[in-house]
Amino acid sequence: MINPAAQWAIQIDVTNRCRRTCSNCTRLLAHARERFCMSPWAFRQACAAVHTFPDHSTPDRNGRPKVIGMIGGEPLLHPEFPELCEIMAEEIPDRRHRGLWTSEPLLITLGAC
């Protein structure tokens, strides 16, 4: 097992909402009984708790920049997604260290975060 400090990414799970029903989904989202959306307050706390990770953890053995990002379900379905992006930009000012795991293909052209 790799020490968490040696990982290249920290993913903050902001929602379990998802449009897809992928048969290989390891998140079992189609079986969730209740929908979850992290509050902006809780997201700020999560970002603040790990904001030093990119610069103060073991360098990635593959030379990748360390990243803190949003994951879900589908983070773009979070009803307060724009606010979460603002929070992330405040807490993690270096854009190279912000990430977004999404299945939405338009993200690249939108530059959401």
Quick one: pLDDT at residue 110? 46
Per-residue pLDDT reduced to its tens digit, 19-71: 877 777 766 655 667 888 999 999 999 999 999 999 988 888 888 899 999 99
Confidence band, pLDDT 50/70/90 cuts, at residue 91 = very high
Quick one: pLDDT at residue 27? 67
Global confidence as pTM: 0.84
Domains of the chain in sequence order = 8-110 (3.20.20.70)
| Beta strands across the sheet bearing 9-13 | 9-13, 67-71, 98-100
Quick one: pLDDT at residue 103? 82
